[in-house]
Structure 1
Amino acid sequence: MKSLTDGQIIWEPTMEQIEQTVLTQYVKWLKEKKGLTFHDYHELWKWSVDELEEFWASLWEYCDVKAARKYDRVLAEQSMPGAKWFEGARLNYAENALLNDQEEKTAIFFRSEHIRKQEVSWKELKEKVASVAHSLRKLGVKSGDRVVAYMPNIPEAVIAFLATASIGAIWSSCSPDFGARSVIDRFKQVEPVVLLAVDGYQYNGNVYDKTSVVSQLIQELVTVKHTVLVPYIEKKILEVNLEDVIPWDDLLEEKAELSFESVPFDHPLWILYSSGTTGMPKPIVQGHGGILLEHFKSTKIHQGMTSGDTVFWFTTTGWMMWNLLMGGLLNEGTIVLYDGSPSFPNMDALWELAEDTGMTFFGTSAPFLTNSMKLGNKPMGKYDLSKLKSLFSTGAPLSGDGYKWVYE
């Protein structure tokens, strides 16, 4: 394979492909509804920067944001810090994510190293979110309280997040590959009232018992009033010996009506963390309204996701790409969760997953693509990837040769 030369064009969309994008439909909508004409992307971008209120108001309208109360004005205070966006609006991120009425259609496709296939329909997703939200309320969780999760990238994490958001409580998560101290350093700062955790996880063929870490979290997170345990690893492998924990299935026992707490635009949705390389990890708070509009802008307008798409990011719950993956639900598509090593039992694991799920958007890291290239992998020759529209690469720069391998 010849190396790329600087500035060499390796791919361009056809006019037909450009016409079919959501971005093109948005530009046409702006002309028809707002009398705005843009000749190229740069003109559209410049307008979005120069006319902030006009742009964000158009995004709210075009993406049909569900709100209990519309905003009084888009930008009440143009100052940094201190800008006040969409004052007066009351909405809920989870409500916008669960508007889908395609009941039996798959909402979540899940696979791990020890669970080959699991699907959750939209109907089942909404029923479980309603039950878990009801149970959290019975445990005393209210709007503004923090619910934290020490969980891998599994359907229970998505259900728990949506349930938490639906009642106006604030979500935060860490992956079980984090050590006890890393988790405590993060969670202790946000003073959670409920902890959700797994008994263990599997990675690269090895099983890791995390019950001792969960026990330590219970002892050191003094604000936690209730701990919920998800039995993720088979009980015959791990003996769970934790007192005063609530089994996950208990949260699902009671059927309930799906309901949503309408919160102000900037009400906290979730808390992420900085890496902790310069002292303690810093909590980063993001709100319902801001993330809702940013996710619509990113997934719908830029990436062009629709209800017919199947979206995947290789991620853990400790990385913000997991939070971005939740945005796939806003477009009524299917999201794909994978828990485990991308190279177990070999480097074909994710390509096989792409074929099995009919994946249209494949999100991964530059090292994964580079390693696939170096191993001489040719996924197109081995798997049916005909539904794949886009391949996302993040986490590190992808080399020119990596890009060329992707397009070849």
Structure 2
Amino acid sequence: MMRPLWVPTEQDVADARVTDFARFVAERTGVRADGYHALWRWSIEDLAGFWHALWDYFQLGEIGGEVLARAEMPGARWFPGTRLNYVDHVVRRIQPDRPAIRAVGEDGPIREISWAELIDHTAALARTLRTLGVRPGDRVAGYLPNIAEAVVAFLATASLGAVWSACGQDYSPKAALDRLGQLEPTVLITADGYRFGGRAHDKRDDIAAMRAGLDSLRGTVVVPRLGLGVPGTMSWDDAIRAGTGPPDAMITTEPVDFDHPLWIVFSSGTTGLPKGIVHGHGGVLLEHLKAVALHFDIGSEDTFFWYTSPSWMMWNFQVAGLLAGATIITYEGSPTAPAPDALWRIAADVGATVLGASPGYVLACGKAGSVPRAEHDLSALRTVGITGSALPASSALWLSENVGEHVQVSSISGGTDVVSAFAGGVRTVPVWPGELSAPYLGVALDAYDPAGRPVRGEVGELVITAPMPSMPVGFWRDEDGKRYHEAYFDMFPGVWRHGDWITVTDRHSVIVHGRSDSTLNRHGIRMGSADIYQSVERLTEIAEALVIGVEQPDGGYWMPLFVVPAPGAELTGELISRIAATIRTEVSPRHVPDEIIQAPGIPHTRTGKKLEVPIKKLLQGADPDHVVDRSAVDHPDLLDWYRTIRPSRGS
């Protein structure tokens, strides 16, 4: 019988902020939850009561009326009449004795930004934005690496009631314009370049292309990362040149409605223009305080480091550490430079208490023979967060053995859609290998069969049956809400269908099997691709794999597995046999691939997701230009290779 990977101690439970919140709820409402699951059950059965209690627990101020005026989805109405500004709740968490941000690069010393400096620079940049004509509702675009200035730019924008949207500088100008160009931004904030993998990347030509493609711009502000001049722009130093003073007197914010747009984040954009997903000030504030403070147990003594990029919602999520008074880490660089254990080294250098990474990074560290607990001082580390795809049980075990048995592994799953998690860790619940510990508070998570009936202990569609405040205000340029409805509510009316296969276990944990729109359906038996990846990618000879189930015109079904051998390895007949045997014994005899094919690489979205559905369409003969936006792909040249592949056998 499988045993828990990590079990909270009595002290862990007593000290957890979620335990303190449960006490607060009991004193306030008389609801006494016996353990986390009972608290979660109350949080989804009394939505208004839960979110009202959360609002008061974090002392967010006056409520201007009802908490939940309309509970139906889509179109739920949260806190109508309540006005606020996200930035006010960053300012009120100032910690004068700790840095707000520690900025890390591949080279050079760690730079500390105090809370006073953060607020001072935010206020000064906000004044500059006003002089450039930025008003509430206007958009400010970021084309930036993951640097401290990006955080300042976001906060300055939000303080004005303007709307922030950004992508990383690894995006080409076309890919960036496909996103940011939709928004007609008033100001562009960018950097002359960035450093990654030991190289400096000059972005001056790309900035020129961006400026030429954005007719709406009234100004461009450039952070000098490489010391290169960009003619016709304003330097960052000029934009933040202002006198210093008491932090609480330095910034003036614009009160806005609860659902006033805070930022616009973009879908992966693999087909057509990427969807701009709009989130509101109040929904993000509440959701992120809940997730960061109650689930990750982050407070003012913590250092929060998630490896991310401004292109990915986890950047927005990490900024929320400031709402809890924590120090956050920005890192401009590669997770594997100069060595595979780079993130562990940085975590040790900054004294990270919470570190976030991807399953792929953990797997790569294991294959490289890293032993972080022996090579770095990780004594401050309490939690390792994992997201981006499902974390295999073997990788969770590797973390326990090589990082520390005392370290909680908090695998989370959610999405850009709600800019948070649906399920993950909590400090009072055990961690089971290969599982997400529990649904998050306030998330009415369930698994449905195709008829819309809840299922337990078997694979079903991940659904959310009650609204969350951080569900999108809407999609950009979707005035009638049609695209928003089609994205989530077509399959089960009134219920959010997210597009993932999950199993809800009898202990209320969640197992994620992969995207339901790329399900493998062999001989009538459904399976998520993640189950196969977890087995195959553990083999030391395999760097990465991609499995596709292809319905054929004659009614046949072809299931190839594409593999990229690790450096120095070859796809021999013996390795092919071993891969097949691994899938047969660890996954399912019915899901042994028809063919195992060596590939030159696996294409991903810019946020690291494998292109399963577009590759499936290519294998069915579709034109690459009609199934995927090449600018949204990390290695678009690979698409032409996959287009040439045709089955030699099938089933």
Of 391, 395, 401, which residue of structure 1 is paired with 2:388? 395
Of 18, 21, 28, which residue of structure 1 is paired with 2:16? 21
The CA distance in 2 between the partners of 1:138 and 1:27, in whole Å, is 47
Deviation of 1:243 (Å): 3.1
Deviation of 1:212 (Å): 0.6
The CA distance in 1 between the partners of 2:387 and 2:293, in whole Å, is 19
Matched, 1:326 2:326: no
Aligned counterpart, 1:360: 353
The CA distance in 1 between the partners of 2:366 and 2:331, in whole Å, is 21
Aligned counterpart, 2:44: 49
Aligned counterpart, 2:199: 206
What is the letter of the counterpart of residue 39 of structure 2?
A: L
Matched, 1:346 2:339: yes
8 Å contact from structure 1 (residues 362, 388) kept in 2 = yes
Mean CA deviation greater in 358-367 or 249-258: 249-258
The CA distance in 2 between the partners of 1:232 and 1:183, in whole Å, is 19
What is the letter of the counterpart of residue 47 of structure 1?
A: W
8 Å contact from structure 1 (residues 149, 174) kept in 2 = yes
| Cα distance per residue 1:149-181 (max 9 Å; x no partner) | 100110110011111111111000010000111
Of 214, 236, 241, which residue of structure 2 is paired with 1:248? 236
The CA distance in 1 between the partners of 2:200 and 2:316, in whole Å, is 26
Of 95, 102, 105, which residue of structure 1 is paired with 2:98? 105
| Cα distance per residue 1:265-321 (max 9 Å; x no partner) | 000000000001121100000000000000011001111111010001000110000
The CA distance in 2 between the partners of 1:248 and 1:228, in whole Å, is 6
The CA distance in 2 between the partners of 1:255 and 1:34, in whole Å, is 47
8 Å contact from structure 2 (residues 103, 110) kept in 1 = yes
State the secondary structure of the residue aligned to 1:93.
Answer: coil
What is the letter of the counterpart of residue 52 of structure 1?
A: L
| Cα distance per residue 1:160-211 (max 9 Å; x no partner) | 1111111111000010000111000001111100001111111101111111
Deviation of 1:19 (Å): 1.3
8 Å contact from structure 2 (residues 267, 276) kept in 1 = yes
8 Å contact from structure 1 (residues 186, 283) kept in 2 = yes
Mean CA deviation greater in 158-167 or 114-123: 114-123
State the secondary structure of the residue aligned to 2:286.
Answer: helix
Uncovered stretches (5+) of structure 1, i.e. residues with no partner: 1-5
User: Structure 1 stretches (4+) deviating beyond 3 angstroms?
Assistant: none
Deviation of 1:64 (Å): 1.3
Of 28, 32, 42, which residue of structure 1 is paired with 2:27? 32
Deviation of 1:10 (Å): 2.1
Deviation of 1:357 (Å): 1.0
Matched, 1:291 2:284: yes
Aligned counterpart, 1:265: 258
In the superposition, the TM-score normalised over structure 2's length comes to: 0.60
Aligned counterpart, 1:177: 170
| Cα distance per residue 1:110-159 (max 9 Å; x no partner) | 11113331000111111111111111111111111100010011011001
Mean CA deviation greater in 153-162 or 74-83: 74-83
8 Å contact from structure 1 (residues 104, 123) kept in 2 = no
| Cα distance per residue 1:82-124 (max 9 Å; x no partner) | 2111011110111101213422421101111133310001111
Deviation of 1:403 (Å): 0.6
Aligned counterpart, 1:3: none
| Cα distance per residue 1:12-32 (max 9 Å; x no partner) | 111221111111111111112
Deviation of 1:51 (Å): 0.7
The CA distance in 1 between the partners of 2:169 and 2:314, in whole Å, is 16
Of 298, 313, 322, which residue of structure 2 is paired with 1:305? 298
Aligned counterpart, 2:126: 133
State the secondary structure of the residue aligned to 2:24.
Answer: helix
The CA distance in 1 between the partners of 2:22 and 2:97, in whole Å, is 33
Of 4, 12, 31, which residue of structure 2 is paired with 1:9? 4
Select the structure of larger CA radius of gyration. 2
Aligned counterpart, 2:470: none
% identity of equivalent residues: 42
Of 44, 62, 65, which residue of structure 2 is paired with 1:72? 65
8 Å contact from structure 1 (residues 100, 122) kept in 2 = no
Uncovered stretches (5+) of structure 2, i.e. residues with no partner: 245-249, 402-651
8 Å contact from structure 1 (residues 130, 255) kept in 2 = no
Aligned counterpart, 1:282: 275
Deviation of 1:252 (Å): 1.3
What is the letter of the counterpart of residue 58 of structure 2?
A: C
Structure 1 pair 101/277, CA: closer, same or farther in 2 (3 Å)? closer
Structure 1 pair 154/344, CA: closer, same or farther in 2 (3 Å)? same
